Structure 1
Amino acid sequence: MTEYEWTDPDTFASVLERVETREKGHFFEDFEEGETIEHDPGLRLTRWGNELWTSQTLNHDPFYWRADAARERGQEETPIHPDYLLAATLGCTVEDLSEKGGYFLGRTNVQFPTDPVAPGIDLRVESEVLETTRSNSRPEYGIVTWHTRGYDADTDRTLCAYERTNMIPRREPTEGLETDGGRADSSDNVSGSDGSDSSDEPDDQRTLPETFVIPEGTAFEDFEAALERAPDRDTAVAYRHERGRTMDDLTVAGLPLATLNTAKQHHNVDVMADSPSGDIVTYGDVTRSTALGHARSDEQTLREVRFTDERFHTFVTPGDTVYCFTRVLETSRETTTANERAGTVHFEHVAFNQHDEPVYSGRRTAEIATRDASN
């Protein structure tokens, strides 16, 4: 038998042309409605991972950093930030659900039923396949919706839950029998538009308010008072946040890999060179958390309650800068906890880049400290 010099460049190039690739991830045909997928391995939620995530996304609430601030809110130690918990929960699912690539079409019903979560918990994640549908506009893809839950592995307590929808590559392209709503192009962790046509709306619904009001402070009463100063459709409580964060090697590649997010879109420059983005792209939860970090710097957040209608509109690549715009929708004196020193605020947030293009949007419900609690 002839012995080859396997590392000879010409020989090795010939070998690579002939061998098969052992692929990762799953195709659309692999998912069956009703099945439950246990994601292995899970991830230990550490203080190091929490501080890495929150520091690099500018989420600097001392509650998640300093023991004295945590004790003031009734916690013995600094807890895990919900943004890091959510990103870790999704990251653990990527190898099983979306590593093949595909367009992130949206996420909703994000909930944190047992906030706060202590560091040192082992995260166990599972997903249920809620729906699989064909795509008319893109026969090379199908559409899958999962309901994902993150648990405390020791107690089975639910820490985080959400629903997300992705386009997933098919093994064999086929002409779909059902429409996907005409969603536009995008990339993994970046969703396209919802296919709606604003020109179908009445003219008065597409008219922007004449006046924009900004809260005068960061406490719950300031958001409440701002809405009282905007009683009709010609006035809105809306503003942009000054801070921006330029995406770099750590935020684009380092943070997703630290959450076990193995999607090549975030770390394989070679593969992504021929993609529509032309480069690796930022993990959607990094974009989202960075924008929310900007927003939270202008409020006294006590607890995240839920997120709905989250969408990622276009690519964020290394060198892009993420800013944030906020609209205050509603306030309530009722809270999900027996906390008399907080009120509930409903926000809409839009992250945008240096070209003023929206890159993320979502609706958020949070408990904001009242003025006596924030003093």
Structure 2
Amino acid sequence: MPRNRSGMWFEDFEIGQVVEHAVTRTVTEADNVLFTCLTMNPQPMHLDAEFSAQQEFGKPLVNSLYTLGLVVGIAVPELTLGTTIANLGFESVTFPSPVFAGDTVWVCSEIVAARASRSRPEAGIVTFEHCGFVRDDTLICRCRRTALMRRRPGSREE
């Protein structure tokens, strides 16, 4: 069992439970450029200030996949650090508003489903809805993801 654990055990999750995460993160231009280049995305709306100045938003947009990763990552310490077995997938992902360098992202998560695993008695399956916000509480990302979570030691249904 991992020694570094702050995440919740499967038994700790309750449907409807909402967590406002303590960690926030201000996105920098370097974050956006590095992520965009590392993922081989040459889209000028992320990398080219002159190109972006002539587009709808007037400045470079933060790469949406970076936004998704950041929103999920901010949720990790309180929910899943050391207690996730595997991320099983994303049911939906939306980006209703853009993110720009200098925006500070904060996240809240809701538990929307939880059930014991039928094939793994040491685990349960939890579905999270993560919502990321910036500025004046503008929603910038909403995603539903499902994870295979560890049960509390000694509480396995066997």
Whether TM exceeds 0.5 here: the answer is: yes
Structure 1 equivalent of residue 79 of structure 2:
97
SS in 1 for 2:85: coil
1:109: Cα distance to partner? Answer: 1.6
* Counterpart-to-counterpart distance in 1, 2:96 and 2:5: 36
State how 1:1-16 maps to structure 2 within 5 Å. Answer: none
* Counterpart-to-counterpart distance in 2, 1:41 and 1:75: 27
SS in 1 for 2:69: helix
* Counterpart-to-counterpart distance in 2, 1:56 and 1:155: 30
1:117: Cα distance to partner? Answer: 2.0
Structure 2 equivalent of residue 183 of structure 1:
none
Is residue 2:17 matched to residue 1:29? Answer: no
Structure 2 equivalent of residue 188 of structure 1:
none
State how 1:160-309 maps to structure 2 within 5 Å. Answer: 160-171=141-152, 172-175=155-158
Structure 2 equivalent of residue 123 of structure 1:
105
Structure 2 equivalent of residue 45 of structure 1:
27
Is residue 2:46 matched to residue 1:64? Answer: yes
* Counterpart-to-counterpart distance in 1, 2:79 and 2:72: 10
Structure 2 equivalent of residue 107 of structure 1:
90
Moved >3 Å (runs of 4+): none
Percent pairwise identity: 33
* Counterpart-to-counterpart distance in 1, 2:28 and 2:91: 26
What amino acid is the match of 1:132? Answer: A
| Residues 155-211 of structure 1 deviation map (CA, whole Å, 9 limit, x = unaligned) | 111000010011100012114xxxxxxxxxxxxxxxxxxxxxxxxxxxxxxxxxxxx
| Residues 223-282 of structure 1 deviation map (CA, whole Å, 9 limit, x = unaligned) | xxxxxxxxxxxxxxxxxxxxxxxxxxxxxxxxxxxxxxxxxxxxxxxxxxxxxxxxxxxx
* Counterpart-to-counterpart distance in 2, 1:52 and 1:71: 20
Structure 2 residues without counterparts, runs of 5 or longer: none
What amino acid is the match of 2:142? Answer: A
What amino acid is the match of 1:33? Answer: I
Structure 2 equivalent of residue 150 of structure 1:
132
SS in 1 for 2:148: strand
* Counterpart-to-counterpart distance in 2, 1:27 and 1:144: 10
Structure 1 residues without counterparts, runs of 5 or longer: 1-20, 176-375
1:77: Cα distance to partner? Answer: 1.8
8 Å contact kept, 2:6–2:80: no
What amino acid is the match of 2:123? Answer: Y
Number of equivalent positions: 153
Structure 2 equivalent of residue 88 of structure 1:
70
State how 1:310-325 maps to structure 2 within 5 Å. Answer: none
* Counterpart-to-counterpart distance in 1, 2:99 and 2:13: 31
| Residues 295-346 of structure 1 deviation map (CA, whole Å, 9 limit, x = unaligned) | xxxxxxxxxxxxxxxxxxxxxxxxxxxxxxxxxxxxxxxxxxxxxxxxxxxx
Instruction: Return the TM-score normalized by structure 1.
Output: 0.39
1:22: Cα distance to partner? Answer: 6.3
Structure 1 equivalent of residue 115 of structure 2:
133
* Counterpart-to-counterpart distance in 2, 1:22 and 1:135: 24
1:98: Cα distance to partner? Answer: 2.1
2:36 to 54, 60, 73: 54
* Counterpart-to-counterpart distance in 2, 1:109 and 1:92: 18
What amino acid is the match of 2:145? Answer: R
What amino acid is the match of 1:138? Answer: R
* Counterpart-to-counterpart distance in 1, 2:7 and 2:150: 10
RMSD: 1.4
* Counterpart-to-counterpart distance in 1, 2:33 and 2:19: 29
SS in 2 for 1:168: strand
1:33: Cα distance to partner? Answer: 0.8
What amino acid is the match of 1:98? Answer: T
